[in-house]
Amino acid sequence: MAKILVVEDEPAIQALIATNLKRAGHEVTSAADAESAQRQIKQALPDLILLDWMLPGMSGIELARSLRNDERSRIVPIIMLTARGDEHDKILGLETGADDYITKPFSPRELVARIKAVLRRRAPQATEDAVEIAGLRLDPVSHRVAAGGQAAELGPTEFRLLHFLMTHAERVHSRSQLLDQVWGDHVFVEERTVDVHIRRLRAALEASGHDALIQTVRGSGYRLSATPKVAD
């Protein structure tokens, strides 16, 4: 269940894609051109972007390039959609930073499978795969967390926060990156909200000592790591 932004100017294709992605359990938003896609992305980062090559105004390739050149949107995986089957175009699309490439017409089943593969690789927090680190296990399907074999009770935000940190372990995330990735909203939440939920998350994991996995990196943000933190 990923948040997917579909950028496609043909209403019939846009509707067909939306129907199939919703059926596969995803949350879908749509944009008919690159400019309105940019506005939506500015508000909230999707987990994945399905991007039509041929758009009125700014092309899909140009949009992909600008998203890749931006620090904030760089991490969002992109699948290009196109009527062209040309090898040269395919190479250009991938060079621009697209993660995959689908030629129209495509079967809904192929589309859903490709999305799943790209999410697994690039946005594992948007998949339903269970993750386990150092005796801490999170299962998105049953929505359960076990710490050292004991069930841990987490609120919905703490659950999403832990899911993101576990699927992106050993890396430092700034508060604003966490807001984008976990809250999905860059604009309306204050950064100290992140600290509040980190505190709750640590409290929920304290009994088994797994709170030590959630590390504060001074001046930078937070990191989940199985390696004990060296004092700074």
- The footprint of Ca ion (CB under 5 A) covers 9, 52, 54
Residue 56 Cβ vs Ca ion, minimum distance, rounded to whole Å: 8
3-state secondary structure of 180: helix
Q: Which CB sits closer to Ca ion, 12 or 230?
A: 12
Sequence-distant (6+) residues with CB within 8 A of 191 are: 175, 176, 179
Cα–Cα separations (whole angstroms), residue 51 to 48, 76, 104, 154, 195: 10, 12, 12, 35, 35
Q: Which CB sits closer to Ca ion, 52 or 158?
A: 52
Residue nearest to Ca ion (CB): 54
Residue 31 Cβ vs Ca ion, minimum distance, rounded to whole Å: 12
Q: Which CB sits closer to Ca ion, 9 or 70?
A: 9
Nearest to 4 by CA among 25, 83, 88, 150: 25
Q: Which CB sits closer to Ca ion, 55 or 138?
A: 55
Identity of the residue numbered 102: I
Residue 166 Cβ vs Ca ion, minimum distance, rounded to whole Å: 38
The answer to whether residues 79 and 116 touch, using CB atoms and an 8 Å cutoff, is no
Residue 9 Cβ vs Ca ion, minimum distance, rounded to whole Å: 5
Residue 54 Cβ vs Ca ion, minimum distance, rounded to whole Å: 4
> In terms of DSSP bridges, do strands 214-217 and 150-152 run parallel, antiparallel, or are they unpaired?
unpaired
Q: Which CB sits closer to Ca ion, 9 or 139?
A: 9
CA dihedral sign of residues 224, 151, 160, 19: positive
Q: Which CB sits closer to Ca ion, 9 or 27?
A: 9
Residue 65 Cβ vs Ca ion, minimum distance, rounded to whole Å: 17
Sequence-distant (6+) residues with CB within 8 A of 39 are: none
137, containing H or E segment? strand 136-139
Identity of the residue numbered 100: D
